[in-house]
Structure 1
Amino acid sequence: MNRRHLVTAIAATALAAGIAPATAQTFPARPVVMIIPFAAGGPTDVVGRIVAEAMSKNLGQTVVIENVAGAGGTTGSTRLTGAQPDGHTIMIGHTGTNAASVALYPNLRYNPLTDFAPIGLVNTNAILLVAKKDLPASNLSEFAAWLKANERSANNAHAGIGSVSHTTCLLLHAIIGVKPQSVPYRGTGPAMNDLVGGQVDYMCDQVVNVAPQVRAGTIKAFAVAQANRNGALPDVPTTTEAGLPNYQVVVWNAMLAPKGTPAPIVARLNEALRAALADANVRTRLADLGADLPAENLATPDGLRAFMEAEIAKWTPVIRAAGVTAGN
């Protein structure tokens, strides 16, 4: 190699070595798109918009929401895998898209652990077991006894195969040891309407979705499936208090980037996420929804990756034992 070619090669190497730091230093260079893999107005969408607004202030660029609904959130998740790994496209994934999907979708087009760059856990949301107001049970123990006695005729409503309201009731059934009928709906709204109307017996869903009806007295709540009582419904006992301590389950939202996003950019996005979750207004708004902020160790990329691994290990046997699958 002559001297001129050697100098050119050295310069090219130096330039290549400096690309990632320069990109990280100038990031973001334009608005950041946040994919929400569900329809507007749902709990993940609401949380995403609250966090996006606060992150925009920290990043100095607008975080734009793009709702890409379909196939239990897997359509939007698949779109993220095809985005440029430069930090300008991110996503709010959740329990279904990055844990339950592994067992639910035999032809899943992405690997939740290897096709994304974890940024951090955003929040968790407690699951509440609720029933039509005239169901003949006044507490969780009585409900479990009623369910065993009426296994063939009892039915639960959910927002479709693979939805949070579906998978969390599958776990409940596995713990109690029953396989009652389930009634799928096109979303939580129609399912809740029929629960209020008494056409179905019970439902498992996020506090944010059911708290208004519980407060209004149109349905009854048996227990919240977490260690501590939920601030949005402080009078509702935990499953441990109510006699079913094994039923501990929360739904979560997590921030992800495409695989290959440079570590400095992931770190910058994590910094913006942490700043958003530390904002007093954000914390108040999330608390009003019944959402809980993540533990410090789960608000990191490494912590989120380990958390998702544990969640996949938790949900896969439950879903496979129930023999439930969903199409892509």
Structure 2
Amino acid sequence: MQRRQWIISATGAAMVLALSQTAQAQGKFPDRPITIVVPSAPGGSTDFTARLIAEPLSRALGQAVVVDNKAGASGNIGNQFVAKAKPDGYTLLLAYSGYQVGNPHLFKKAGWDPIKDFTPVAMLTRAPQVVAARANLPANNLRELVAYAKANPDKLNYASSGNGSIQHIAGELFKQMTGVALTHVPYKGAGPAVQDLLGGQVDLFFTTPASVVSHIKADKLKGLAVTSGARLVSIPQVPTTRESDLKDFTLDSWFALYAPVGTPNDVVQHLNTEIAKILALPDVKKKAEDAGTLVDHMGPVQLGEYTRKELAYWGRVIQGAKITAD
């Protein structure tokens, strides 16, 4: 009788141990593919940044990391999708600053909130804007652009990634600072805008370097200026706005990873730790630099504080420029 009880007890203990191990295995993150949602079309700087980290992150986590472009409504479609996703770390947002801290001030009902709906994971990269022009535009720098625009009022237009995007804001600020007349042409992301710029359907595009650097190097587009204090290593021939008598025309975009609010802290920390290692890799840094961007890692707490500060700053800029997307 005692032997039988011991066998039953041993068998029960073994079953409990097996179930415990299975539960632990099932609960280990990640145990299936992860999706990074890009709220714009392929080909732009947001898409570039997502793909910059997707492959090395997949290797680090041992799971596929899929980039899913959900363009439309100036980023609101992609942001809404992630905001409503299950907070388990398997659906992430590759946020573009123009959308993340600009849209809340531009849309009365964006359908998401940058603070209430998202948990910061990691800052990834940042970049200035490049004033890019079609190859046959009769202007080679900002001074010549302003002169040509004033001599040909209402004949020039500029592209953006959508109403209220930072490219839209950049164009409106440029108009205010120079007094030139430009017509705004919104697109569903940087990729389609660049294609029409290459084709000559639009004249100008204020955008992050990753979208246009290769075309400027190949002389398919003109780089008129970089909106920063220093020239870019990737296109050193392009002067800064400060060198072009527009020292106050400085714009900086950033790209960061967020998860739906409520995502477990250990999952967020795990993702951030692996991303920090990836951004420190020499080949990743070089890829970013070649595209005109710089890696700039921040952890969850620092990114959360920075998001709040940027939200307030861009609110003042947008209200001051009287820009609305509705």
On whether the aligned pair clears a TM of 0.5, the verdict is: yes
> Which of 236, 244, 247 pairs up with 2:246?
244
Greater shift, 143-152 or 128-137, is seen at: 143-152
For the 8 Å contact 2:42–2:191, the answer to whether it is kept is no
* TM-score (ref. length: structure 1): 0.81
Match of 2:21 in 1: none
Task: Quote the offset at 1:240 in angstroms.
Answer: 1.9
Question: RMSD across aligned C-alpha pairs, in angstroms?
Answer: 2.8
Which digits, 9 at most, give the CA deviation of each residue in 1:204-223, with x for residues without a partner? 11212222332233432221
Query: Residue 65 of structure 2 corresponds to which residue in structure 1?
Result: 63
**1:121-140 correspondence to structure 2 within 5 Å:** 121-140=123-142
Partner of 1:258: 260
Residue from 198, 208, 213 that aligns with 1:211: 213
2:302 match: 303
Task: Give the TM-score normalised by the residue count of structure 2.
Answer: 0.81
Larger mean CA deviation between 148-157 and 99-108 belongs to 148-157
Does the alignment pair 1:28 with 2:27? no
Alignment deviations for residues 179-216 of structure 1 (CA, whole Å, 9 cap, x no partner): 53223345545544554455543221121222233223
Distance of aligned partners of 1:120 and 1:222 in 2 relative to their CA distance in 1, 3 Å threshold: same
- CA displacement at 1:121 relative to structure 2: 0.9
Q: CA deviation at 1:162?
A: 2.9
| Residues 279, 183 of structure 1: alpha-carbon distance in 2 compared, 3 angstrom cutoff | same
- Measure the CA separation in 2 of the matches of 1:147 and 1:314: 30
Question: Residue 121 of structure 2 corresponds to which residue in structure 1?
Answer: 119
Report which stretch shifted further, 307-316 or 247-256: 307-316
Q: 1:190 to 1:29 in 2, by over 3 A?
A: closer
- Identify unmatched segments of 5+ residues in structure 1: 1-21
Structure 2's unaligned 5+ residue stretches are 1-23
User: Which letter does structure 1 place at the counterpart of 2:293?
Assistant: A
Matched AA of 2:39: P
Partner of 2:102: 100
* Residue identity opposite 1:325 in structure 2: T
Deviating above 6 A after TM superposition, structure 1's stretches of 4 or more consecutive aligned residues are none
**1:171-250, aligned counterparts within 5 Å?**
171-178=173-180, 180-196=182-198, 198-250=200-252
Contact map agreement 1:102 1:108 (CA 8 A) in 2? yes
The count of corresponding residues between Structure 1 and Structure 2 is: 303
- Rate the CA distance shift 1:154–1:252 in 2: closer, same or farther, 3 A: same
Q: Distance in 2 between matches of 1:49 and 1:80?
A: 18
Query: Which stretch has the larger CA shift, 25-34 or 107-116?
Result: 25-34
Task: Tell me the SS of whatever aligns to 1:123.
Answer: strand
- Could you tell me which residue of structure 1 aligns to residue 325 of structure 2? 326
Q: Percent identity?
A: 36
Change (3 A) 1:154 1:321: farther
